[in-house]
Structure 1
Amino acid sequence: MTYSIVAHDPETQEWGIAVQSKFLAVGSVVPFAKAGGGAIATQSYANTAYGPEALRLLEEGKTAEETLELITKDDPERHLRQVGIIDAHGNPATYTGEGCYDWAGGMIGEHVAVQGNILVDEQTVQVMLDTFEATNGSLAERLLTALIAGQDAGGDSRGMQSAALLVVKEEGGYGGFNDRYIDLRVDDHPSPIEELKRIFRMHQLYFKPSDSGRVVLIEGTLRDELDRELTRLGYKDPQKSLHKSLTDYLHTENFEMREQDESYIDLDVLDFMKNQGC
């Protein structure tokens, strides 16, 4: 009752997984990844021991195919399992046990593995693969676009409940202290993929560095507009400069990554302000 996509971006050295299921909190069960090692999706009566064991084998230098063989060979219920793996070099592998409920299967492409079970039909997997390979952008954007396309093509025959997006890269986590670059989950929602898409946009706004083309001088009508928004949102203090009021807003709202030199503002932040509280 799950479909997932596991992939690698060799240019950015990112590994990632996107998944959706008619299952509560699928993000707590299916995705496992480690920067420099690889990524795995374990589903269909998921054996969550596959995750840590596969990552250990991948870090030892095993290929995706070798890892798949080793984690499934001694599992008495391997006929019920479904797995997708990408190794440290981006090689893909996918496995669907003969006992998985129809429609169930998987496909591989360059640096990508897609798999699903209890699907409407095989088009979900085929469309996800085709979409990923035809889409430009970051690994996270390609994974999310493929997930959306899979749902549009049919998706889980039982419906939707939860979704998750996990992307890892070296020092990619907050403050550079771990590899958890993007780790987003929607645990229970009538439209989990759309909600995941919304949260991803928020993640990019909060944590992605500013686009230099969107950083502008605070002057003229833009200064008046910023003054109005800070006043409306309760951040304008007559005893403080406009810059200090803006800084108070940025720090309170967790926009430190979007903070600019004095007299400049990221227009993405101003756009967010204008929609805030509306």
Structure 2
Amino acid sequence: MKIKQLGTAAAERIPGIFCECDLCRHAAAAGGKEIRTQCQAIVDDAILLDFPGDTYLHYLRDRFPLPSVRSVLVTHWHSDHFYGEDVAYRMNGYVISNPVRHMEVYGSETVHGFHERAFFLEQRHDEDSVAFTTVRPGDDFTVCGGPVDTDESGNAVDGGTGTLRKYRAHAFEAAHGHHAGDCLFYSLTDGERTLLYAHDTGWFPDVTWDELARVGGHYDYVSLDCNHALHGSSLSMHMNFEDNLRARDRMVELGVADERTIFVANHFSHNGRTTHEEMAEAARREGFRCAWDGMEVEF
């Protein structure tokens, strides 16, 4: 599997859209990895994790194959994770040519409401082009990736049984929303490798730790919310790096992670008052990686 972190910031980004704190002024002056856009990732160039308002910026900057994306896993309804108005532009009439006919969006019932609002504003639906599937904590479901690799004769060469790669996703309850089950995070597996993408969430609810133990398996890549980085407080809706370390220890304790697991600190706010350079050094000392916009990892 391959994951590319397209964006690694909280809603206001770094530098913050209306902020001139010390960290934001430093990021604006330094550029490079200090610049962070709204959190989003893509797996195997085919499955998007979240669809924020910065999706179009990511598409222009990184040239990932957005028109070919078949599946979008949405964590929750905040606009830095789901911007439904742009999803609606996938409908016939806005698109003249697209290599992929259909895209499926997955998310909670609350996200579904925001999805429906976007299409209400358009005064029409086009479910042949884009549709929504509601998922709940504990749901295990299949999502489509890109085409199976073929040889010159068009025969599958990777053992696949169909024309599209199939992945299994699992929805976990996040500690972020107004009530249980309206915010999620996901695991995703291609049958050989498995990742966990845990944003936005505070310390996992007890029900989620129980679910991680019940589902079992082994995570090869774990991206954890580190909104408050090194200097911000741990909050009920977000984590800091100290929480990330505790989460890693708990996952190892449960037997779902070990020394082979790639742990990544991700989703940063300027409220954490930590530069990328400072965060990367702290992560390195603890055997973590610090995500940055454009970071790509194959595992």
Q: Same fold (TM over 0.5)?
A: no
TM-score grouping bracket, smaller chain normalisation: 0.3 to 0.5
- Whichever structure has more helix as a proportion of its residues is 1
Q: When the two structures are superposed, what TM-score results if normalisation uses the length of structure 2?
A: 0.31
Q: When the two structures are superposed, what TM-score results if normalisation uses the length of structure 1?
A: 0.33
